Structure 1
Amino acid sequence: MSSYLKSHPTRDGFFGTYGGADLPPVLQPHFEEISKAYDTISRSAEFIRDLRYIRKHFQGRPTPVSHLKNLSDRCGGAQIYAKREDLNHTGAHKLNHCMAEALLAKHMGKTKLMAETGAGQHGVALATAAAYFGMECEIHMGEIDIAKEAPNVTRMKLLGAEVVPVCFGGRSLKEAVDSAFQSYVPQAETALFAIGSVVGPHPFPMMVRNFQHVVGIEAREQFLEMTGELPDMVGACVGGGSNAMGLFAGFIDDPDVALYGVEPLGTSSNLGDHAATLTYGEDGDIHGFRTMLLKDEAGEPAPVHTVASGLDYPGVGPEHAYLYRSGRATYTAADDKEALKAFYDLSRHEGIIPALESAHAVAFAMREAGKNPGKSILINLSGRGDKDIDYVTETYGFSVD
């Protein structure tokens, strides 16, 4: 790993003032067990060998980097490239950490995997890992997201997972996390709560980033081979932030590479209409860790909105909060209309149907290309849009003004 990754986070899981593990006493020993097991297994030649085999022969890695020539020509200015995590098995980057978390669970003697999911990609990936390793699987998903992401719900059930509908509060990703934690407590002896992003108590922000680092390692090598130089700008959508941290990790020690996280601006900048945590949030605590947070008038996590179910979280990974405060990464936002236009444009002009989450990164590249002639932009196409096509076409038709 690079020098940054070796020194961040601290041993107790802090990125500057963000991170840590603020847990109820009943969960502390279980997370300490996970941390200890990860420290051991991540340095094990057997684990590394097994994970490399899975990535090559099951996941289909490495995924390619594609030059989006048609989109670049239409936008003018910078050349746009995409790391194709949509071609990873199950259609998104999520399997990178799910297979590794399942390996960890087997090492710990666990028999069940549990998780929350928003857009369903993490749920599908974890259900896939559970099927591969012969484990039980329980996925908590908000009712709103179940309705929007019906294809992924079907996939989870086909893979043998129990999908638990979450019908309280905003009935979305935050509530799915709450529900999964509640269910996990009495099952912690036999189950691993496989958190689906670089969020949650330590060691998950570090662990998920490290498992996703393969995206950045591959992309850096591939881009150099394609162009002979590093990209000028690297961008990815940010909800919790796992796909972004995976890509960023490959370039974070390259000072000439500018890192950009793209948050969901939803329908407006009004609280409740977006999920742009770093753009409009403040320091706070959620789900056992310190980060930046969108808060309501009572100081509680605020309701959020975005067309992309996988980004509708009122917090953000603590490492993103640290990179924002330190200035190493810049965070911007794309609204629903921009993301939908990018969804249609990438489909029509490149033959690639992106996930709505990834479409936020595409929108960023399209916006920035014209401002940066002679430069290169590499984005993470974190997932494919199969899960979104019914919702998009039924709601918006086959084009957007």
Structure 2
Amino acid sequence: MHKQKPYLDNFPNENGYFGKFGGAYIPPELQKPFKEIEEAYQKLSKDFEFLSELKKIRKYYQGRPTPVYFAKNLSNIVGGNIYLKREDLNHTGSHKLNHCMAEALLAKYLGKKKLIAETGAGQHGVALATAAAYFGLECEIHMGEVDIKKEHPNVVKMKILGAKVVPVTKGLKTLKEAVDSAFESYLNDTKNSIFAIGSVVGPHPFPKMVRDFQSVIGFEAKEQFLEMTGKLPDMVTACVGGGSNAMGIFSAFIEDSVELYAVEPAGKGQNLGEHSASLTYGEEGIMHGFNSIMLKDERGEAAPVHSIASGIDYPSVGPEHAYLNSIGRTKIGLCTDEEAVDAFYTLSRLEGIIPALESSHALAFAMKYAKENKGKSILVSLSGRGDKDIDFIIENFPRD
């Protein structure tokens, strides 16, 4: 009898599919460079020298492992046991550096000179600019004008780190348009540059590659939680836009009897343009080179989206999230803008931890879940810190 391979070894398949989701729907001129990236990753993911260097970077530069923290004051208020995986303590203030350092190291092995990427909230941009500085590479970050204004502190950081920030003025001037712009720039110089996609989205191999690089979150958290409590959590939750921090923490628990909740931004209403809840309201469709679940307008194109959190206002979702939801392995949670702001202030004032607005979505859902499931243990991916959001919050949602 053959023993079934672990989930992470089985998915995606060799063509980059998670069930019917994923793949690489790209123009002919991108097929060769993306194949180059795939072959390099397959080789380097098993290469001792590459893995050893990445391990040293994570320990001595990033400050990993990040801790799991029991939020006692918050838990006492909501009636459950809430634990936070503190990715806000990872260097640059979010989980994004986990894959950015690895992608930059991959680029270095390929002899590339430049990193190109999109960013929404700016966390991916800051992390990639940091990685570029570390490895001595050029860096070009595409960011929507709306997000540039909203996330000004991160724009300043990117520029200080030496990155070129390209304002995107098309369409809604947010994350989707930033991805479009970055793709266009990459097409002009695939020989010397690499497109360092910022989430578990895009054409194969990026959904797999970014998941694998981010899985350090989940495997650290699982070991830490077992050491702290002697058992696994009842529930694990994370915010989902593209979904890199969520796949990072979910990876270690997929084959365990643990509830997994992907929390989507419910925004300010159920109409198109008022939310970014792709899995909740979307349908199957192809965008940015992969097949997944996406929000569509009346013409069948990517619909306008909204979220108070710039990092998760994306009209689609990573293909692995679409697959796991389709087979019932993950469940969907929803969080409104108002609930996210409330969770932002609650954690700040009860625990002295200021969370990113993206992370506040997962936290808000965990608080609701705890009130309805007294005594349950809940592990939250606190994917980033809220330094980038404080000006926006104080200006628009001040509280005494």
Is this a same-fold pair by TM over 0.5?
Answer: yes
After TM superposition, the score normalised by the length of structure 1 is 0.98
Equivalent residue in structure 1 for 2:217, among 215, 218, 234:
215
Amino acid at match of 2:341: L
Aligned with 1:279: secondary structure? helix
Give the distance between the partners of 1:184 and 1:398, measured in 2 at CA: 43
* Alignment partner of 1:158 is 2:187: no
2:251 is matched with which residue? 249
Query: Residue 335 of structure 2 corresponds to which residue in structure 1?
Result: 334
Q: Once the 2 structures are TM-superposed, how far is the Cα of residue 250 of structure 1 from its aligned partner?
A: 1.0
Q: Deviations over 1:29-51 (max 9, x none)?
A: 00000000000111000011000
Identity of aligned residues (%): 66
The residue that corresponds to 2:72 in the other structure is: 69
SS of residue matched to 1:333: strand
| Whole-angstrom distance in 2 between the partners of 1:398 and 1:98 | 35
Q: 1:389-400 residue pairs with structure 2 within 5 A?
A: 389-398=390-399
Deviation at 1:374, TM superposition (A): 2.2
- 1:286 is matched with which residue? 287
Structure 1 regions of 5+ residues with no counterpart?
none
**Superposed CA offset, 1:38-76 (max 9, x none):** 001110000110000000000000000000111111111
- Of 46, 49, 53, the match for 2:52: 49
- Partners of 2:37 and 2:399 lie apart in 1 by 46
Does residue 62 of structure 2 align to residue 59 of structure 1? Answer: yes
For each residue in 1:243-274, what CA deviation from the matched residue of structure 2 results, as whole angstroms up to 9, or x when unmatched? 000000011111x1010000000000111100
Alignment of 1:352-367 (within 5 A): 352-367=353-368
1:398 CA drift (Å): 2.7
2:95 is equivalent to residue 112 of structure 1: no
1:288-328, CA deviations, whole angstroms, 9 ceiling, x for partnerless residues? Answer: 11000000000000000000000010000000000110000
The CA distance in 1 between the partners of 2:150 and 2:271, in whole Å, is 23
**Partner residue in 1 for 2:371:** 370
Equivalent in the alignment of 2:384? 383
Superimposed CA distance per residue, residues 201-227 of structure 1 (whole angstroms, 9 cap, x where no aligned partner): 000000000000000000000000000
* Residues 167-197 of structure 1: per-residue CA shift (max 9 Å, x gap): 0001000000000000110111000100000
Give 1:196's aligned residue. 198
SS of the residue aligned with 1:26? helix
- Structure 2 gaps, min length 5: none
CA distance in 2 between partners of 1:392 and 1:328 (Å): 35
Q: Which amino acid aligns with 1:237?
A: C
Q: Alignment length, in residue pairs?
A: 396
Cα distance between partner residues in 2 of 1:75 and 1:269: 27
**1:372 CA drift (Å):** 1.1
Amino acid corresponding to residue 185 of structure 2 in structure 1: S
CA RMSD of aligned residues (A): 0.6
Whole-Å separation in 2 of the counterparts to 1:320 and 1:370: 26
Distance 2:211 2:399 in 1: 36
Hey, what does 1:137 align to over in structure 2? 139
* Structure 2 match to 1:187: 189
Q: CA deviation at 1:124?
A: 0.2
Q: What SS is found at the alignment partner of 1:187?
A: coil
User: What secondary structure, in the 3-state scheme, does the structure 2 residue paired with 1:152 have?
Assistant: helix
Aligned match of 1:300: 301
3-state DSSP class of the match of 1:370? helix
CA distance in 2, matches of 1:353, 1:169: 32
